[in-house]
Amino acid sequence: MVYCPAEDRYDKMQYNRCGKSGLKLPAISLGLWHNFGGVDSFENSRALVHKAFDLGITHFDLANNYGPPAGSAEENFGRILKKDLADYRDELLISTKAGYDMWPGPYGDWGSKKYLVASLDQSLKRLGLDYVDIFYHHRPDPNTPLEETMGALDLIVRQGKALYVGISNYNAQETKKAVKILKNLGTPLLINQPSYSMFNRWVEDDGLLDLLEEEGVGSIVFSPLSQGLLTDKYLKEIPQDSRAAGSSQFLTKNDITADKLNKIKALNDIAVTRGQSLAQMALSWVLRKGRVTSALVGASKLSQLEENVKIVEKLAFNDEELKLIADILK
């Protein structure tokens, strides 16, 4: 079956300028961390990518270790690109990362120039691309000089293997240093990808969002739904097919306390009065001040994507809603 994208795809999405760059990101981006690996249904993954693009989601976020197994999400996305989206490459924003363990030995992890350059070369082969739009360093490396890591990002842009560079999981202090180094090298930092949600507000306390705004750097936040806690999944109990009921290292039954459940229910009540689902309100909330460029979501069902993109119809909060939410989150 030949895939033909929806003609009205750009009418359904809001696009936000990324920092002071000329690049715009969709308010909702699709992350391929889960549900796109070798253990997953390829046809479901393919349908999700089609639906995302039909809804105006132009940004697809990957990493070298996404799967499982590691590398398989890039391989599967590369197959989808070749089968269905090759003619639309210039309408797509494709990103990948390196920074976690990928292969044995001393050169397959962290942030050395050797690792980053080799990893991106491998990613490009899996994706079937000559370049990615954004290449990220996935996490700070405490043992490699930041000058070397940022120098590798600069080199990669100059080699034409990436158009822009970003960092992920860097705090404000680390980001400030990275911004300065890259600025001096002549390859400005485009974007930082931190975790951020109603239940995880470290970027506010740390001052990272303030710094990014001051430096003209964009931000795309992952886990804005707090690993699914900020959805209707947990309004009654822990579902057997949920991440918390399984073997996830990121969300366990111990994370879902009685106090957390009460907060989820109270937040859901506000969402209902706004005419939104809890997930929609949680996404609107991280985007509420315009300092977050894009919210990165995962999906296993087409209906989840359809629900998520509807937030562009209701991104604003009134003062009373914000106060109620703040009181719940204390």
The larger pLDDT score, comparing residue 305 to residue 243, is at: 305
Residue 157 has pLDDT above 80, yes or no: yes
Q: How far lies 73's CA from each of 55, 203, 296, 322, in Å?
A: 21, 28, 16, 38
Distance CA 114, CA 108 (A): 9
Mutual angle of helices 258-274 and 319-329, in 10-degree steps: 170
- Residue 12: the pLDDT is 86
Residue 150 has pLDDT above 70, yes or no: yes
Angle, CA 63 vertex, CA 173 and CA 207 arms, to 5°:
20
Work out the number of other CB atoms within 10 angstroms of the CB of residue 49: 25
pLDDT digits (tens, 9 = 90+) for 69-124: 999 999 999 999 999 999 999 999 999 999 999 999 999 999 999 999 999 999 99
The amino acid that residue 69 corresponds to is P
Question: Domains in the chain, please, with CATH?
Answer: 9-225+288-312 (3.20.20.100)
Mean per-residue pLDDT for 6-21? 97
pLDDT digits (tens, 9 = 90+) for 169-202: 999 999 999 999 999 999 999 999 999 999 999 9
- Pairing label, strands 15-17, 24-26: antiparallel
Distance CA 24, CA 133 (A): 12
Mutual angle of helices 278-286 and 258-274, in 10-degree steps: 90
Angle, CA 59 vertex, CA 58 and CA 63 arms, to 5°:
150
Work out the number of other CB atoms within 10 angstroms of the CB of residue 178: 25
Contacts of residue 59, defined as CB under 8 A and 6 or more positions apart, other chains included, come to 25, 26, 29, 30, 92, 93, 94, 95, 220, 294
Contacts of residue 172, defined as CB under 8 A and 6 or more positions apart, other chains included, come to 206, 207, 208, 210, 211
